[in-house]
Amino acid sequence: MIIAQQKPIKEIAAMIADCKKVLLAGCQGCVAVCLAGGDKETEILASALRIMRKLEGNPLEAVTYAATRQCDPEYIVPMDDLVKDVDAVISLACGVGVQYVAERYPDKWVVPALDTKFIGGSTVHGVWEEKCGLCGECILHRTGGICPIIRCSKSILNGPCGGSQYGKCEVSKDVDCAWQLIYDRMKALGRLDKMMEIQMPKDWSKSRDGGPRRAVREDVIIE
């Protein structure tokens, strides 16, 4: 899922300093699962902003709505009536949701409440870690199910490098050397020979080097 975290509340308040009424739009997708922008977080932020503004003697009317997800335009449409009379929309979605909301309401001030961090998962409740580098061409079948693109600090494809010491990365003693993990796992699987195969250079044009990407499936497009 996409992992996001809420911006400092003072930064969010500053973005809507000149607004009298705002809509806080939560998202029940990834950001709800990573406890950053679901129903609960949306209501907490609304309450905190109302209190903050009342204390400043400049009351704020804050209404809330949580879309099924904001990365599909059809789920933003139900917000139309709520958006009509607000001065701004604070989106608690990832960067994708914020942009779809901004596109839907071209005359509205749309601001992000979250910092979109990375693609990852949770290790325990409340702790998330980065797992995928979105490189556009998965190589996990060659690396024992461990992604060197994102889990190696250098994203190198022929590790480990000289900075690998006792299984840890030189960047931090808390970061495992991804290539050590890959080697250990391939060895345990009896597939070390796979690591000796000559690999062609990675096609980075399928990653961000190729500019903004699109994915198309002709067979499911509704005319």
Partner 1 sequence: MRIQYSPNIRIVEMTCTGNIDHRVILNAFEEGADGVYVAGCLEGDCHFQKGNFRAKKRVNAVKKLLDEIGLGGDRLEMYNLSAAQGPRFAEIANEMTAKIKALGPSPLNSPAGGCCGCSKEGATN
List residues near partner 1 by CB under 8 A. 8-10, 40, 43-44, 47-52, 54-57, 59
- Decide whether 55 or 216 has the Cβ nearer to partner 1: 55
Closest CB 89 distance from partner 1, rounded Å: 21
The 3-state DSSP class for residue 202 equals: coil
Could you tell me the two tokens for 223? 């005319």
Closest CB 48 distance from partner 1, rounded Å: 5
- Decide whether 60 or 79 has the Cβ nearer to partner 1: 60
DSSP one-letter code for 215: -
Closest CB 43 distance from partner 1, rounded Å: 5
- Decide whether 71 or 113 has the Cβ nearer to partner 1: 113
Measure the CA angle with vertex 116, ends 86 and 170; round to 5°: 160
Closest CB 116 distance from partner 1, rounded Å: 22
Q: How many CB atoms lie within 10 A of CB 188?
A: 10
- Decide whether 10 or 217 has the Cβ nearer to partner 1: 10
DSSP one-letter code for 71: S
